[in-house]
A and B are shown apart, each in its own frame.
Chain A
């Protein structure tokens, strides 16, 4: 199905099942421990051996020698694979560094060997006996130091943008700010580590794994192993979180495949927690310079955003300026993205890449600007709203309710109680403040396919390689199929994550929900045609209550399958609607935070997000996405930072004791409101994404609340007490 004209009324609009706050259909399996994650799939293949990956002990250099004698002689050891005997390996385009080091080492904890043994403990113990001699090379590990040598990246589409005369307008602006902000390297820190079980049947490889993008995983595993994609099957029905860390093929998969080939039996591998930060990808640190100029009435006349990040050679930059091209009006504009060469592990996508760190900076700058103008920060944002792409005014937004998000949010949150003067509200030893930020994230369209089956019991089975990374995909796909076929939810079976199923959009970039359900919509539309043809009914038949009705006639849906199962497969593909109109999602974040006037400890008290993101397919799972994202945004604001050792070139705090993420006590109260919105430009589902919108802007709302509470402006994340303590008010 080609989606190239805006959606009109369709069966989804009935909202009998779609749009309802349905419990997750996989919830009962997850809460009872019966949803097997990749490492726990003991039953899929017999005789599984355990692999343990040995990571490089240096950040950059060469492996001079590997002595495997002791490890090989250790109890239970079956096989050891290193680059010396792995055979030629390809490298997928989506991987910057190789997944197996040797002879060169490109980053710390890059895999250098995998040890396979009968038990996990034996594999790990033998891993410690692999003796590697390295020749260390000098590397670059400090973004601030490498910034001056940063270059224009080749990979990104638009490293620079310019409209009219930014420099002139900025210089002429009566009110302006020019400030630099930094965001640190961050780790996805998902609950389930990267894990895979690999098994060869002749030259065919099966991988049970944990991955967000099945088709990419299959393609890239084939490419890396140098075998035809047709010989690879990937299966990943349950995923314990990814946040972008499982978008691309990683070492668990490749090392399991290599190990299984050498061992001659299935091998399972999980990345040990202390390896994940340095072995896999992370959100790269940024340095961002923002300049805003405005007239005294608050109208922005110039807005400029520059961002520097680092990566390994051939890596991509963090596109932190992205939202600044679209979020606020302003006649004179510029953005610039620069990339420095660093020898830290590979930087790549993490939940809302670009916007998440970009808004952390931009939305502080907006707060600072509002203060300079003597304006309320909500009013300042509202004044500078735009209903068209500011770079191409002929392109309107398909839907844009930023102003309503901010105004409704302000009313609901009690924003009028905010003291404009920082540091003036006290509650015992706490200084209390409120902050606001806009949320913005683009809506991305990706083709997505599905197959649907109808049997004579009236059961509709959906098959697609789409993944449920904890987001609720199983449920919204079931709701979509139930709505389309006019059956109750319990008559729908959803099968996901198997590369033998039609290729879907996968889970990433908050594109999963809208595109994958649209693919299911397309397949169901085809199945409906097969049903009406079989029943001899007009094609405009109504499907409801497990019946099909048209022209005064009505038949049982099951009748259509009485001679055998009906099967339909289709995909959704998109025309250029998203070129004609800008499709984005919007929100307003409101935060009340308290700062301990003695210690500088920050404790969030309340959070509210008002979101406008197209049709909300399931308000319950959507809310879970947004509160999860707000929690992650709180982590980014207050504690998350991969600490770089600038001498040895690695992330030092590489476990969950050292890399702190929020705990329950950090998140006392959250509220989420979804504005009524349908976006006929986005898809037949008229939905967009929310899973990343929720993190966009939260960090700045917290930063702004902290400033409002105690009068200390921190421009370097995370906002920890050490950055405030010498500027807090005197204590007795």
Chain B
């Protein structure tokens, strides 16, 4: 870890302004991802701005009938909130499928959205990695890529976005609210929030430098059977090989987003029209153009089969 300076911001606008003043500064939420990366010198921010004291730790009803989740609401608080469990079960289930109780107590909503990839080459500073060190090459391509992406990849990077919560938020069409260094507020649809790697895998979201997340809003509840199926090698405490967030209505229509297969939560709205026809049809459209490696080609049938499990579960519900 490199020495760094630390400040506690008083308002989101102050936090954003401060970040704009210090190139390379980072916000710190629970620190469960950022501090690990700093210890390994994968991230080396000279300055940390603590966003834990901005009074962004409330979950409120919105006038539109949805929910506004403060950026600093912990994963535990969010997953156990009665309204979330009742109306947005997929979010609650996705969160508790991730990490561990201790980590969820510390992890925040904004930090969770922004957690970085678990590509093992990203984690080893001896290895080439375009995401960690732009232009150094990609160690994973041609290497060990079992966990990595099968779709939306580029010649520069095949990493996945590893998180669970964001996959559920994607299926619910959440919106990310921010404040920019100039003080301007914006609301970014979650579909546009995470980016594909392209030739700039180190740029992972559409946030501009210094932009601070203040909340995530969920639209009015959409009902249905809400599921989060997370497939992994061990029963708990592991990142998804593939995860499926699904909301299935009684008439067989529904929505699906997939985790563990791309640089962002993967959803193809057009594919959902095929939901009543079953998992095979949906998966075929969802995964059109996929380019798996030899190590991770299994994710293609796995997505279909996991979606089939979700549809069967919904039918039985």
Give A contacts to B, CB under 8 Å: 57-58, 75, 121, 124-125, 128, 274, 429, 596, 598-601, 603, 638-639, 643-645, 647-648, 652-655, 657-658, 660, 662-666, 718, 720-722, 725-726, 728, 731-732
Q: Nearest Cβ distance between residue B279 and chain A, in whole angstroms?
A: 7
| CB-based contact A599/B312 at 8 Å | no
A-side interface mostly: loop
CA distance A655 to B40 in the complex (A): 12
CA distance A648 to B233 in the complex (A): 25
Most buried by A among B235, B278, B308: B235
CA distance A413 to B4 in the complex (A): 59
Given contacts A598-B306, A598-B308, contact A57 B126 (CB under 8 A): yes
| CB-based contact A722/B309 at 8 Å | no
Q: Which residues of B contact A728 (CB under 8 A)?
A: 305
Most buried by A among B3, B143, B305: B305
| CB-based contact B235/A732 at 8 Å | no
CB closest chain-A residue, reference B298: A722
Listed A/B pairs (6) with beta-carbon separation below 8 Å: A124-B39, A599-B229, A645-B139, A647-B143, A658-B118, A728-B305
| Number of residues of chain B lying within 8 A (CB) of chain A | 41
Q: Which residues of A contact B308 (CB under 8 A)?
A: 598, 731-732
Does B41 belong to the interface (CB within 8 Å)?
A: yes
Given contacts A121-B1, A128-B41, A663-B236, contact A599 B306 (CB under 8 A): yes
CB closest chain-A residue, reference B241: A721
Q: Which residues of A contact B301 (CB under 8 A)?
A: 725-726
| CB-based contact A645/B236 at 8 Å | no
Q: Which residues of A contact B237 (CB under 8 A)?
A: 663, 665
Q: Which residues of A contact B40 (CB under 8 A)?
A: 274
Does B142 belong to the interface (CB within 8 Å)?
A: yes
Does B66 belong to the interface (CB within 8 Å)?
A: no
| CB-based contact A731/B234 at 8 Å | no
Q: Which residues of A contact B60 (CB under 8 A)?
A: none
Closest 7 CB pairs of A and B: A665-B235, A722-B298, A57-B126, A598-B309, A665-B236, A652-B144, A643-B144
Q: Tell me which of A128, A599, A664 contacts B236 (CB under 8 A).
A: A664
Q: Which residues of A contact B3 (CB under 8 A)?
A: 75, 125
| CB-based contact A125/B144 at 8 Å | no
| CB-based contact B305/A274 at 8 Å | no
Q: Nearest Cβ distance between residue A201 and chain B, in whole angstroms?
A: 34
Q: Which residues of B contact A660 (CB under 8 A)?
A: 233-234, 238
Given contacts A663-B234, A663-B236, contact A596 B309 (CB under 8 A): yes
Q: Which residues of A contact B121 (CB under 8 A)?
A: 652
CA distance A652 to B146 in the complex (A): 11
Q: Tell me which of B2, B120, B278, B298 contacts A652 (CB under 8 A).
A: B120
**CB within 8 Å of A: which B107-161 residues:** 118, 120-121, 123-127, 139, 142-144, 146
Does B174 belong to the interface (CB within 8 Å)?
A: no
| CB-based contact A429/B235 at 8 Å | no
Given contacts A128-B41, A599-B309, A652-B144, contact A721 B236 (CB under 8 A): no
CB closest chain-A residue, reference B280: A732
CA distance A429 to B308 in the complex (A): 11
Q: Which residues of B contact A75 (CB under 8 A)?
A: 3
| CB-based contact B309/A638 at 8 Å | no
Q: Which residues of A contact B125 (CB under 8 A)?
A: 128
Q: Nearest Cβ distance between residue A306 and chain B, in whole angstroms?
A: 27
| CB-based contact A731/B305 at 8 Å | yes
CA distance A598 to B298 in the complex (A): 13
Does B167 belong to the interface (CB within 8 Å)?
A: no
| CB-based contact A124/B1 at 8 Å | yes
Given contacts A598-B309, A653-B120, contact A663 B235 (CB under 8 A): yes
CB closest chain-A residue, reference B147: A658
Q: Nearest Cβ distance between residue B243 and chain A, in whole angstroms?
A: 11
| CB-based contact A639/B236 at 8 Å | no
| CB-based contact A721/B302 at 8 Å | yes
Q: Which residues of B contact A647 (CB under 8 A)?
A: 142-143
CA distance A599 to B260 in the complex (A): 14
Given contacts A274-B124, A599-B305, A652-B120, contact A732 B278 (CB under 8 A): yes
CB closest chain-A residue, reference B142: A647
| CB-based contact B233/A639 at 8 Å | yes
Q: Nearest Cβ distance between residue A122 and chain B, in whole angstroms?
A: 9
| CB-based contact A655/B123 at 8 Å | yes
| CB-based contact A720/B235 at 8 Å | no
CA distance A666 to B236 in the complex (A): 8
CA distance A139 to B120 in the complex (A): 21
CA distance A243 to B239 in the complex (A): 27
Q: Which residues of B contact A718 (CB under 8 A)?
A: 233
CB closest chain-B residue, reference A603: B235
| CB-based contact B231/A599 at 8 Å | yes
Q: Nearest Cβ distance between residue A731 and chain B, in whole angstroms?
A: 5
CA distance A657 to B232 in the complex (A): 13
